[in-house]
């Protein structure tokens, strides 16, 4: 059995979007509802936190340092000043959503430094299929590339750079798609990669390994699943909480899998409520691929 550890005593309301910085040997992640950015330093095993003005759905590294974030009113550049508990935020690209109560959600950079990010209605109970997938470059936010999403998630890019993955984690959908991706960022027609309905959990945030495996958090299922490049379930790792949300490879050798989590509205039988919202780490076997920062030039 794979051993899973909590990295600190911190508990997030909605822990999401872990991303490993090779240059800093540190992991960044967010608490969406707590409006916090967190940084875990590998050498010191310490965590720092910065408050933000808006909810952050996802973060990516920024070329030259700092972060880029999809928030409630647009895409922002983020700096994290030492000794200041509040992040420095600068709006890069404002966003006009199709209806009120929306924000950016899951996102990752592809191997060429483009930030792919989805949108959603914050109140998932409305099951509003008005979310979309966008590709953000230094020129701005492009036109929607996928529409009709309720809760877009699962963004990742295959090890061979040829495919994009995206999921919809809403209980009504629970599907992972794969689409061809050309070198210039053109996305082809998506096809179903995995139907998650027969499996434990809903398909939330994801990562890929150097061997082509696709790892996705099974929200409400207390597991992280690995699928092979042909969509076959290879193995599952149990975590001690019901709502793992997103995973990312990190550590000096990129062989550690960090797993963020969410606190459910009430304790779930069979899980350790005291650990809900923790950031976990495990060594699952295999190695990840270094994240590419958002290209600013």
d(CA 276, CA 297): 40
- Which tokens hold the place of 92? 């890069």
Q: What count of Cα atoms within 13 Å lies in the side-chain half-sphere of residue 142?
A: 18
The question of whether 230 is a catalytic residue gets the answer no
Question: Could you please report the per-residue DSSP string of 105-133?
Answer: EEEEE-TTS-EEEEEEES-GGG----EEE
SS3 237: strand
- CA 119 – CA 115 distance, rounded (Å): 13
Q: What backbone phi and psi angles, to 5 degrees, belong to 62?
A: -110, 135
End-to-end CA distance of the chain: 45
| Catalytic-role residue among 31, 204, 209, 220 | 204
Active-site annotation, residues: 204
């Amino acid at each position: 059995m794979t051993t899973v550890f909590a990295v600190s005593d911190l508990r997030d309301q909605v822990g999401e979007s872990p991303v490993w910085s090779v240059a800093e040997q540190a992991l960044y992640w967010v608490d969406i509802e707590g409006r916090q950015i967190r940084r875990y330093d590998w050498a010191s095993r310490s965590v720092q936190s910065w408050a933000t003005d808006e909810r952050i759905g996802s973060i990516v590294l920024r070329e030259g340092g700092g972060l880029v974030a999809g928030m409630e009113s647009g895409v922002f550049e983020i700096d994290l000043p030492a000794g200041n508990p509040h992040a420095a935020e600068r709006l890069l690209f404002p966003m006009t959503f199709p209806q009120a109560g929306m924000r950016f959600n899951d996102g990752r950079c592809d191997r060429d430094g483009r930030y792919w990010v989805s949108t959603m209605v914050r109140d998932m109970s409305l099951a509003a299929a008005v979310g979309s997938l966008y590709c953000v470059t230094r020129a701005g936010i492009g036109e929607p590339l996928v529409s009709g999403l309720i809760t877009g998630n699962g963004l990742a890019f295959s090890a061979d750079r040829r495919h994009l993955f995206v999921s919809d984690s809403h209980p009504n959908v629970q599907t992972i798609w794969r689409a061809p991706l050309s070198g210039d960022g053109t996305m082809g027609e998506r096809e179903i990669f995995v139907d998650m309905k027969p499996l434990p959990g809903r398909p939330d945030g994801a990562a890929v390994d150097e061997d082509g495996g696709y790892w996705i958090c099974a929200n409400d299922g207390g597991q992280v699943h690995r699928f092979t490049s042909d969509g076959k379930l290879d193995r599952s790792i149990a975590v001690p909480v019901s709502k793992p949300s997103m995973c990312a490879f990190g550590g000096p050798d990129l062989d550690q899998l960090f797993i963020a989590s969410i606190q459910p509205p009430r304790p779930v039988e069979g899980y350790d409520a005291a650990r809900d919202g923790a950031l976990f780490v495990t060594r699952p076997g295999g190695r990840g691929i270094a994240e590419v920062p958002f290209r600013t030039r």
